[in-house]
Amino acid sequence: MTRPGLAALPLAAWLLVFLAWPAVYAVRLAFTDPAGGAFPSLEPFRALAGDPLFWRAFANNALLPPLVVALEVVGGLALALLLAGRLPARRWLRTAVLVPFALPEVVFLAIARHLLAPRGYLNGVLAGFGVEPTPWLAPGHATAFAAVVLVDAWHTTPIVFLMLLSALAALPREVEQAARLDGAGDVRRFAYVTLPLLAPTLAAAILLRGLDALRIFATPLVLTGVEGVPVLSSYAYHQWSDQGSDGAAAAAGVVLAVLCVLAAIPLLARRSPA
């Protein structure tokens, strides 16, 4: 074996033991009858199909990522455009924007939970204006879904913001100056110059965050529990942890993996040079 081949051996062994083997094991578990141990069997998938919570998780997993990513792209772009300019104290403002992402996820979500709890800070502020308390995170309320979308977007918008801010800094000034000399206003310069030049970075941000958002887990779980706004990963965790159904958990994981692959194909196709 060549020297580079030998050097790659530890990595290959690591991937085999800690990635390939658990993945194969999980797939096998997903196709094993939990009662009799027969393989292959679709029993775990039949159990999922008969569980209304699974279908809610599936629907939420299809709805949440586009909404979250759309908010992040719009918010991240707006913040990047605003803070790329020569604002006073812009370094402080940039730091403030990054704080939610810099905080450990559980800490950030615990803060959000205290903010949105029935006797939380938000309802406390609203009470000051004479507004009745709202059960923001109560299961079955549209506010719980909206809260998950907003909090998750709030937490991860800094990623999109950082990507776009660095892309804006790298844009060639000459093109914009030429457009300005030709009489293009702010809106036209943004629509016809800045945005097209940012398109590759925007596409990369959407690809990165789109795939990541499919695996959304902690935000709905910490804010609303499994039953509030279920998603496939929190549903799999529920089956594994609360119900002790390893097979159903693995089957839900397989469904999520298939969903990720299906979503990645068109996103990657758009990114290809062809």
Partner 1 sequence: MTAVRALLVATLLAAACGRSDRITVALAVLPSELPAYRAVVSEWERTSGRRVVLVPQGYGDIRRAIAAEAAAGRGTIDLVELDVYSLATAAAAVRPFDPAALAGLTDALDPAAVRAGSIDGLRFLPHRLSWAALVWDATVLDRPPDTWSDLLAVARAHPGRIGFKGARYEGLTCDVLPFVWSAGGRGDVLDDAGARAAFELFADLAPYLHPDSATFKEPTIAEAMARGELILHLNWPTVMTTYTALGLAPGRLRSAPLPRGPAGRATVLGGAYVAIPRNAPHPDAALALVRWVLGRGVQARLARELGWFSPRTDVPPASDPALAGFVAMRGAVRPRPERPDYAALSRAWQDAFRDVAFHGAPPEAALAAAGHGLRGGRP
**Interface residues toward partner 1, by CB under 8 A:** 53, 117-119, 135, 137-141, 224-228, 238, 240-244
Closest contact distance (angstroms) between CB of 124 and partner 1 is 11
Tokens of 131: 């507004």
By the 10 Å C-beta count (0-12 exposed, 13-18 middle, 19+ buried), 167 is classed as buried
* Closest to partner 1 by CB, 135 or 176: 135
* Closest to partner 1 by CB, 17 or 265: 17
* DSSP alpha helix (H) spans, the chain: 3-15, 21-30, 43-49, 52-84, 90-102, 105-116, 121-128, 142-169, 173-181, 186-189, 195-214, 218-228, 232-241, 246-271
Closest contact distance (angstroms) between CB of 164 and partner 1 is 36
* Closest to partner 1 by CB, 82 or 138: 138
Closest contact distance (angstroms) between CB of 216 and partner 1 is 17
One-letter amino acid of 258: V
Closest contact distance (angstroms) between CB of 135 and partner 1 is 4
* Closest to partner 1 by CB, 73 or 109: 109
Q: How many CB atoms lie within 10 A of CB 80?
A: 23
Q: Is residue 180 helix, strand or coil?
A: helix
Tokens of 72: 């992040």
* Closest to partner 1 by CB, 157 or 224: 224
| 263: nearest Cα among 217, 197, 198, 216 | 216
Closest contact distance (angstroms) between CB of 136 and partner 1 is 10
By the 10 Å C-beta count (0-12 exposed, 13-18 middle, 19+ buried), 153 is classed as buried
Closest contact distance (angstroms) between CB of 113 and partner 1 is 9
* Closest to partner 1 by CB, 55 or 190: 55
By the 10 Å C-beta count (0-12 exposed, 13-18 middle, 19+ buried), 107 is classed as exposed
* Closest to partner 1 by CB, 53 or 260: 53
* Closest to partner 1 by CB, 80 or 226: 226
Closest contact distance (angstroms) between CB of 241 and partner 1 is 6
For residue 231, which phi and psi values (nearest 5 degrees)? -130, 170
Closest contact distance (angstroms) between CB of 140 and partner 1 is 7
Contact 164, 80 (CB under 8 A): yes
CA 82 to chain centre: 24
